[in-house]
Amino acid sequence: MTTLSFALNHMTAPALSPDAFFGLAASLGIAAVEIRNDLDGNAIIDGTPAGEIKALAEKHELTIISINALQRFNEWNEARAGEAQDLITYARDCGAKALVLVPVNDGSGQADGERQANLRRALSALKPMLEDARITGLVEPLGFEICSLRSKTEAVEAIRAVSGENRFKIVHDTFHHHLAGEEKFHPEMTGLVHISGVADPDVSVSAMRDPHRVLVDATDRLDNAGQIRTLLEKGYAGPFSFEPFSSEVHQSAEIKVAVRESMQFLSGKV
């Protein structure tokens, strides 16, 4: 059995307060968490001061590995710059190590040439902002067919084009890797891995969406175990963060048991 370095994204139990969520992670022996800015009634969206979140993380002896996320980051404009600065400042002040960067996902900005230029422009603008705060930018390609950044290879090429290797990494999301049909792994440029499974036997790959994403078990169709094994074999040594979006998971009365079972399943398979 392999000892994996697990992390917990607040999307695993979005109804929990930050304190309760941090307590859940600690009770599972998980030392790393991701907080989000898209959960109603929770930090960051409800105005909870960054210092309060930092104190809670310290109380539970946790590392906040990321804030998830700056949306539409590759559609760079004045409004996006303001959002980015607010989130980067919050990340710095709460002790988070990184900010997840999510691309436009509505069918726009996909044209060849246009999407690469947009990506480089955004990375170039974000780089000094992140450097000032000593925060890492985690670029997360999405596998959806309408996404403006589906390829991890394209993301890595753009990071290198702006000499951003020391400031940016990519997120390998097992769900999006499967949807994109991308075979190439980039362990040396991977800063975080998001894990979730799809168990529904009837949904086609092209029809898979966030609500299908559950905790990983033996019914998983995405080969999470195989993806994790490949990443480890190629040298990735970072965390594997649970990020299920299914309401079935969110409403579970036994979320601690469910996460522990998924941890045990993956450790046994890898």
CA distance 35 to 63: 11
Is 248 part of a structural domain of the chain?
Answer: no
Question: Tell me, what CATH number does 16's domain have?
Answer: 3.20.20.150
Write down the pLDDT at residue 66. Answer: 98
Cα angle vertex 208, ends 202, 210, to 5°? 125
Q: DSSP assignment of 139-206, as one string?
A: E----STT-S---HHHHHHHHHHTT-TTTEEEEEEHHHHHHHT-----GGGEEEEEE-EE--SSS-GG
Write down the pLDDT at residue 42. Answer: 79
CA distance 110 to 170: 19
Is 124 part of a structural domain of the chain?
Answer: yes
CB atoms within 10 A of CB 234: 12
Q: Give the pLDDT band (50/70/90) at residue 40.
A: confident
Q: Given a cut of 80, is residue 43 above it in pLDDT?
A: no
Q: Are 24 and 59 in contact (CB under 8 A)?
A: no
Structure confidence by residue, pLDDT tens digits, 206-241: 999 999 999 999 999 999 999 999 999 999 999 999
Is 214 part of a structural domain of the chain?
Answer: no
Q: Given a cut of 90, is residue 196 above it in pLDDT?
A: yes
Structure confidence by residue, pLDDT tens digits, 93-139: 999 999 999 999 999 999 999 999 999 999 999 999 999 999 999 99
Q: Given a cut of 70, is residue 1 above it in pLDDT?
A: no
Q: Given a cut of 90, is residue 82 above it in pLDDT?
A: yes
Write down the pLDDT at residue 46. Answer: 84
Residue 117's identity, in one-letter code, is A
CB atoms within 10 A of CB 61: 10
Is 88 part of a structural domain of the chain?
Answer: yes
Identify the DSSP state of 29: T
Structure confidence by residue, pLDDT tens digits, 8-31: 999 999 999 999 999 999 999 999
Structure confidence by residue, pLDDT tens digits, 146-179: 999 999 999 999 999 999 999 999 999 999 999 9
CA distance 259 to 232: 21
Is 207 part of a structural domain of the chain?
Answer: no
CA distance 218 to 95: 36
Q: Which domain holds residue 41?
A: 6-201+232-239
Q: Is 172 exposed, middle or buried (0-12, 13-18, 19+ CB in 10 A)?
A: buried
Is 221 part of a structural domain of the chain?
Answer: no
Is 187 part of a structural domain of the chain?
Answer: yes
CA distance 231 to 25: 23
Is 219 part of a structural domain of the chain?
Answer: no
Helical axes 255-269 vs 224-233, angle rounded to 10° = 60
Torsion angles phi and psi, residue 12, rounded to 5:
-65, -35
CA distance 97 to 33: 11
Measured CA to CA in angstroms, residue 102 lies from 57, 68, 137, 246 at distances of 24, 9, 10, 19
Domain count, the chain: 1
